[in-house]
Amino acid sequence: MNFENINVLKKELDLLGPLPAAAVRNLDEVYRVEWTYNSNAIEGNTLTLLETKLVLEEGLTIGGKKLREHFEVINHSEAISYVQDIVNRHMKYPSLL
């Protein structure tokens, strides 16, 4: 694998500066739903991508689906938040590593 090309592309991306806060929030929401859906689908969860989005963003329960599947979605999202929180704390206070 040629990492030189990846390094060049990374440097170009870094020159563009940080993304606006609103864009970062939007990306977090989109990828959280997709990551949760895909991870749970691999494990046999039958909620669709749209149903996963509704559970996470609207707090809805989906008729005909098991309560366990709803909790899997919610718990996966909470696990992502937990990991992000740990990462953010270590970035602010590197001596905690």
In tens, the pLDDT along 22-81 reads 999 999 999 999 999 999 999 999 999 999 999 999 999 999 999 999 999 999 999 999
For the whole model, what pTM was predicted? 0.77
The answer to the question of residue 5 being in a domain is no
The answer to the question of residue 92 being in a domain is yes
Q: Which two tokens stand for residue 84?
A: 């992000």
How far is it, in rounded angstroms, from Cα 50 to Cα 33?
Answer: 9
The answer to the question of residue 9 being in a domain is no
How far is it, in rounded angstroms, from Cα 78 to Cα 85?
Answer: 10
How many domains would you assign to the chain? 1
How far is it, in rounded angstroms, from Cα 2 to Cα 41?
Answer: 33
Domain hosting 86: range is 19-96
Q: Which SS3 state, helix, strand or coil, does residue 47 take?
A: coil
Q: What is the pLDDT of residue 93?
A: 75
Residue 94 scores a pLDDT above 80: no
Q: Identify the CA nearest to 43 among candidates 73, 65, 18, 22.
A: 73
